[in-house]
Amino acid sequence: MGRLSVLLAWNAGDPPSPFEMRRNDRIFETWQGNRNPFIDHPEWAEAVFG
């Protein structure tokens, strides 16, 4: 699907926007009842996959 190094660089260079954070909140509150942890804690991508 993609090179891990490229995906981690992309994650570091493009932090979640306010729109993405609101979307994550709305999905949690309205439909799924769960959150995307990589929106809440983008630093976890490096901790998990780095």
Taking residues 28-40, what's their average pLDDT? 96
Domain ranges within the chain, ordered by starting residue: 4-49
Q: For position 24, what pLDDT does the model report?
A: 97
- The answer to whether the beta carbons of residues 46 and 12 sit under 8 Å apart is yes
Does residue 1 carry a pLDDT above 80? Answer: no
- The pLDDT of residue 2 is above 90: no
- DSSP H stretches of helix in the chain: 4-13, 18-27, 37-40, 44-49
How confident is the model over 7-33, as pLDDT tens digits? Answer: 999 999 999 999 999 999 999 999 999
Residue 42 pLDDT: 97
